[in-house]
Amino acid sequence: MASALDTRGTPMHKFPEPELGDAPIPKERYTSPEFMAREWDRMWTRTWVIAGPLSDIPEVGDYFTFELGHESILVVRSAPDRIDALYNVCQHRASQVVPKRGCGHARAFVCPYHLWTYDLQGNLRGLPDRDDFRQGTEGIRLPSLQVDTWGGWVFVNMAPDAEPLPEFLGLVADHLAPYDFGGSFALTEDYVFEWDCNWKVAVDSFNEAYHIQGIHPELLPFTDDVDCPVDLLGKHSRFLFHVGRPSPRWSDRMARQAGYEDRNALSKEMRGMLEMNGLDPEPFAGRQGEVRPVLMSAARETARRRGYDVEALNDEQLMMDVHYQIFPNITLNISPNHFWFFRARPHPDDPNRCYWDYQNYDRMPVGSERPPRPETVHTRWGEGHESKLHLALRQDGEQAAPQQRGLRSRGFKGLHLAYQERRIRHFHDILDGYLES
Ligand SMILES: [Fe+2]
């Protein structure tokens, strides 16, 4: 943990947490159309969700569409200091005003069907044959949603009486502020994968480190999946994943199978980390367990050399995957100089399918120009694009469809969770708070 003197960065101490019991999680939560409908009525339509990156709408008239369930939402910079979120549905006969998904630029939104024209704030400004509407067209507009921003993203909420976003985010906003997501990072990869599983399977798969020994054993020589402190933070949660330290599960036997002398031998990954930080690996031969503190001190210097401003981060987090879940559907896998953003979105009407959005963000050297925005790739898992992802994410994605099949089996009743998997239990508990209110 960060030393008591290192008060910079993301707080690393243990936070108090509720006792959540140990009852099984009923499988119907992942498979039932009725449960899915309740989630829509009581949770999705009443929670803050990230619609997209603020960097997609820098200029007045820039917009993007965001699909959630059967809704399409239009997010637009309508004035230099104003963002509007509008239901993307023409008030004439329900056509999509902007049929194309993704980013665009407009002076006004013209519905392609009957050419009804709305200004950037959603007010109806013109239509052919206005006099033919005997009932009048006064006051017609694209209905708006609550909108706010944090961390370089636009959040929307369909509930008119939504709690303010800062209240919803709670501690998470302060915890992650030192990274400066909005100012220092650029979006560099953007994929939308269709997965054959419930959206919660996609969320769960990143909320515990228990599966690392099973499907990611190659991580064990250089990451600690055992001392992986969990915190439940209001509606959200985190774990702190130490990088540069071998897992206690990394045994002499496993090391020998991988071609090393024993578990203390310097793995190729650890060697790579040392070299990347300008350090000679040779003195660490057979001393793999002693590498992490050395890497921690070197990482700050390496970042400086590359022009990255990591001064707000503490030493610990320079060698950590700081892993947050923002309820309901965002996972952030945060390293000092890059992070992964995962967003699970429900299918409009099938509880056995979802969309898993993967974005990579890279820290930019101070004063450097932002790279062009990558094209969004829309694809199904298994069609080939997943081969471009990190091995661990390919392994996670492969797990999704078989797990959903298992959830539908007559031979399975519910999730039997370990204490170390309590982020999953907590997530269901928060979800229940929405469903029961
Ligand atoms: Fe995983």
Distance 275 CA to ligand 1 centre (A): 26
Q: How confident is the model at residue 7, as a pLDDT?
A: 86
Distance 111 CA to ligand 1 centre (A): 43
Q: How confident is the model at residue 5, as a pLDDT?
A: 66
Distance 414 CA to ligand 1 centre (A): 21
Q: What is the pLDDT along the chain (437 residues), one digit of tens a residue?
A: 455 567 899 999 999 999 999 999 999 999 999 999 999 999 999 999 999 999 999 999 999 999 999 999 999 999 999 999 999 999 999 999 999 999 999 999 999 999 999 999 999 999 999 999 999 999 999 999 999 999 999 999 999 999 999 999 999 999 999 999 999 999 999 999 999 999 999 999 999 999 999 999 999 999 999 999 999 999 999 999 999 999 999 999 999 999 999 999 999 999 999 999 999 999 999 999 999 999 999 999 999 999 999 999 999 999 999 999 999 999 999 999 999 999 999 999 999 999 999 999 999 999 999 999 999 999 999 999 999 999 999 999 999 999 999 999 999 999 999 999 999 999 999 999 999 98
Distance 31 CA to ligand 1 centre (A): 22
Distance 204 CA to ligand 1 centre (A): 10
Distance, in Å, from the CA atom of 430 to the CA atom of 261, rounded to the nearest integer, reads 47
Distance 429 CA to ligand 1 centre (A): 22
Distance, in Å, from the CA atom of 332 to the CA atom of 28, rounded to the nearest integer, reads 27
Q: How confident is the model at residue 4, as a pLDDT?
A: 54
Distance 112 CA to ligand 1 centre (A): 44
Q: Are 33 and 26 in contact (CB under 8 A)?
A: no
Distance 340 CA to ligand 1 centre (A): 13
Distance 316 CA to ligand 1 centre (A): 22
What does pTM read for this prediction?
0.97
pLDDT (tens digit per residue) in 37-65: 999 999 999 999 999 999 999 999 999 99
Distance, in Å, from the CA atom of 192 to the CA atom of 179, rounded to the nearest integer, reads 25
Distance 299 CA to ligand 1 centre (A): 25
Distance 335 CA to ligand 1 centre (A): 16
pLDDT (tens digit per residue) in 264-304: 999 999 999 999 999 999 999 999 999 999 999 999 999 99
Distance, in Å, from the CA atom of 110 to the CA atom of 278, rounded to the nearest integer, reads 56
* 291-306 helix and 268-276 helix, angle to the nearest 10 degrees: 40
Region for residue 139 given its phi and psi (left: phi exceeds 0; alpha: psi -120 to 50; beta: otherwise):
left
Distance 304 CA to ligand 1 centre (A): 31
Q: Which domains does the chain have, with CATH numbers?
A: 25-43+171-251+308-436 (3.90.380.10), 49-161 (2.102.10.10)
- The three-state secondary structure class of 362 is strand
Distance, in Å, from the CA atom of 175 to the CA atom of 171, rounded to the nearest integer, reads 6
Distance 315 CA to ligand 1 centre (A): 25
Distance, in Å, from the CA atom of 354 to the CA atom of 352, rounded to the nearest integer, reads 7
Distance 216 CA to ligand 1 centre (A): 7
Distance 399 CA to ligand 1 centre (A): 9
Strands (E), 46-183: 49-53, 62-68, 71-79, 82-87, 103-105, 109-110, 117-118, 124-126, 144-150, 153-157
Provide the 8-state DSSP code for 19.
Answer: -
Distance 338 CA to ligand 1 centre (A): 18
Q: Are 313 and 8 in contact (CB under 8 A)?
A: yes
Distance 423 CA to ligand 1 centre (A): 14
Distance 247 CA to ligand 1 centre (A): 15
Distance 99 CA to ligand 1 centre (A): 35
Distance, in Å, from the CA atom of 383 to the CA atom of 375, rounded to the nearest integer, reads 17
Distance 373 CA to ligand 1 centre (A): 27
Distance 226 CA to ligand 1 centre (A): 14
The strand pair at 144-150 and 377-380 is best described as unpaired
Distance 212 CA to ligand 1 centre (A): 6
Distance 393 CA to ligand 1 centre (A): 6
